[in-house]
A = this chain, B = another copy of it.
């Protein structure tokens, strides 16, 4: 297959980790006879520096001419005092909205070798295996009115039935390919949008008789993610709750530096990026953990290109390198040999060539 990939390295460690992912993609291309054409473009703080715009038109054009987007990370204190429209994260919000990437998908699986880095007791965190599906283009993030006066501020939480249906369907589909359980998280005892949300989940479940559904209030979900995370298979929720709960979930297994994410729409087009941030403090030091970016590239192969074998090969290669006892500095607790970003990638590529 021939595919075009827009590569948006972004800020901080973004360039290092996307470089790593690109090396892995090239190795896959060679081995499986694909051609990946790469279009590099700017986003976030580096785009603000170059073009005074966190999502320049050229970047949008590059993405529009591509089959999928691979992103590093955006942000850094350098741009923290900028006005809203010149802040790095505005690039992220805009690209999600522009491409209608309504479904943010974050798989989370405990890696036995890394449980030592988890803040949770090993018996609580072990065997966690869940996916969080977060609505990404509506709710409090985008609802109008959204404004400030001298004396008050207002944001608006709006959801339409259609917006809820498509994200809920996405969660049901994912659950079908897994353990068949969906936990829908809302605040239906307080919010009107949550009452609608719950109603839509109840309606849609008729179309997925093979999937078990439970409703959970967001405050209970925040507790249960810590006390009993294994209870979850697929969690689906609205944008703001998803922001909070997915970040909470990202630290429970101690492997934040390993977590990939996908932000997709229904036709298979999507943006793939690590869950971790731009970590400006270690940028350019050849120290960053490239695993999350590499595993994001694997998600891209699977979801956007239908390359299941290739995706699985990447995932196995990363796990093998960890099992062989190599890791980057963020996982040094795990009692392994700490290696540089580049050396870790080389190991992954060697593993791919051996398989």
Does A1 have its Cβ within 8 Å of any Cβ on chain B? no
Q: Is A98 an interface residue (CB 8 A)?
A: no
Contact with B along A103-147 (1 / 0, CB 8 A): 000000000000000111100100000000000000011010011
Q: Which chain B residues border A228 with CB–CB below 8 Å?
A: 119
Chain B residues, Cβ within 8 Å of A155: 156-157, 191-193
Residue A152, interface by CB 8 Å: yes
- Is A89 on the interface with B (CB-CB < 8 A)? yes
CB within 8 Å for A156 and B153 given contacts A124-B119, A219-B244, A222-B222: no
- Whether a CB of chain B sits under 8 angstroms from the CB of A87 is yes
Q: Min CB distance, A8 to chain B, in Å?
A: 19
A206 near B: Cβ within 8 Å? no
**Which residues of the partner chain B approach A160 to less than 8 Å between Cβ atoms?**
151-152
Kindly state whether residue A317 has any CB partner on chain B within 8 Å: no
Which B residues lie within 8 Å of A226 (CB)? Answer: 119-120, 226, 248, 251-252
Is A189 interfacial (CB-CB < 8 Å)?
A: yes
A279 touches B (CB below 8 Å): no
Give CA–CA (A226, B194) in the complex, Å.
27
B residues near A140, Cβ cutoff 8 Å: 157, 190-191
- B-contact 0/1 string along A196-209, CB 8 Å cutoff: 11000000000000
Interface residue? A250 (CB, 8 A):
yes
- Residue A334 at the chain B interface, CB threshold 8 Å: no
The residue in chain B whose Cβ has the minimal distance to the Cβ of A151 is B161
Q: Is A354 interfacial (CB 8 A cutoff)?
A: no
Could you tell me if B157 and A157 are in contact, using CB atoms closer than 8 angstroms?
yes
CB < 8 Å neighbour of A196 from B153, B218, B220: B153
* Residue in contact with A190 in the complex, picked from B93, B147, B193, CB distance below 8 Å: B93
Does any Cβ of B come within 8 Å of A245's Cβ? yes
A232 within 8 A of B: no
Q: Which residues of B contact A156 (CB under 8 A)?
A: 154-157
Taking the complex as formed, is A31 at the interface, i.e. its CB lies under 8 A from any CB of chain B? no
Q: In the assembly, what is the distance between CA of A314 and CA of B295, in Å?
A: 54
- A78 at interface (Cβ–Cβ under 8 A)? no
**Is the C-beta of A210 less than 8 angstroms from some C-beta in chain B?**
no
**Whole-angstrom CA separation of A227 from B254 in the bound complex:** 9
Alpha-carbon distance A90/B6, docked complex (angstroms) = 50
CB of A353 closer than 8 Å to a CB of B: no
Known interface pairs A222-B248, A247-B220. Does A158 touch B152 (Cβ–Cβ under 8 Å)? yes
Q: Which of B118, B222, B250 contacts A244 (CB 8 A)?
A: B222
Instruction: Return the CB mask of A302-341 against B: 1 if under 8 Å, else 0.
Output: 0000000000000000000000000000000000000000
Most interface-central of A146, A151, A153 (chain B CB within 10 A): A153
Report chain B residues within 8 Å CB of A219: 243-244, 247
Cβ of A159 within 8 Å of any chain B Cβ, yes or no, is yes
Given contacts A146-B192, A192-B147, contact A154 B153 (CB under 8 A): no
Contacts of A241 in B (CB 8 A): 244
Give the docked Cα–Cα distance between A192 and B161 (Å).
Answer: 25
Residues of B within 8 A of A150 (CB): 161
A96 vs chain B, min Cβ distance (A): 12
Could you list 14 examples of A-B contacts with CB < 8 Å? A119-B121, A119-B227, A146-B191, A146-B192, A152-B158, A155-B156, A155-B193, A219-B243, A219-B244, A223-B247, A223-B250, A226-B248, A226-B251, A240-B240
